[in-house]
Amino acid sequence: NAGVTQTPKFRILKIGQSMTLQCAQDMNHNYMYWYRQDPGMGLKLIYYSVGAGITDKGEVPNGYNVSRSTTEDFPLRLELAAPSQTSVYFCASSYKPRTSGRGTDTQYFGPGTRLTVL
């Protein structure tokens, strides 16, 4: 298994440009997440998804959009890039059985995308 993959690894955008960060997982996980990591700030949740067709906002969703058309893919869209969105973005996935209240609770992370907005 490749686990969680992210593309691109690096990207430089100009203010106002748009782009999509790709994330895919091959572990058949139902939960997927997008985080951003700013220096000294830990990780902040942007959006998450509990399954195909279902997404919800996290702590810092403004300026981003997501979709989850398949179990495997969870792209993150930036419509109008701003300098405040300069960060490292991590995608993660985890599995939670439908019939019980708890899952494995372990999130598996991709290698990250380093985005700079100038």
Cα three-residue angle 49-61-72, rounded to 5 degrees: 25
User: Binding residue for other proteins (CB under 8 A) from 40, 62, 99, 100?
Assistant: 40
For other proteins, give the closer residue by CB, 19 or 60. Answer: 60
Sequence-ordered strand ranges (E) for 2-117: 4-7, 10-13, 19-25, 31-37, 43-51, 54-57, 64-66, 76-78, 87-94, 108-109, 113-117
Rg for the chain (alpha carbons), in Å?
A: 14
Our finding on whether 50 is near other proteins (CB under 8 A) is: yes
For other proteins, give the closer residue by CB, 4 or 78. Answer: 4
CB of 42 to other proteins, least distance (A): 4
Point out which residues bind other proteins (CB under 8 A).
Answer: 4, 31, 40-43, 45, 48, 50, 56, 58-59, 90, 92, 94, 96, 102-103, 105-112
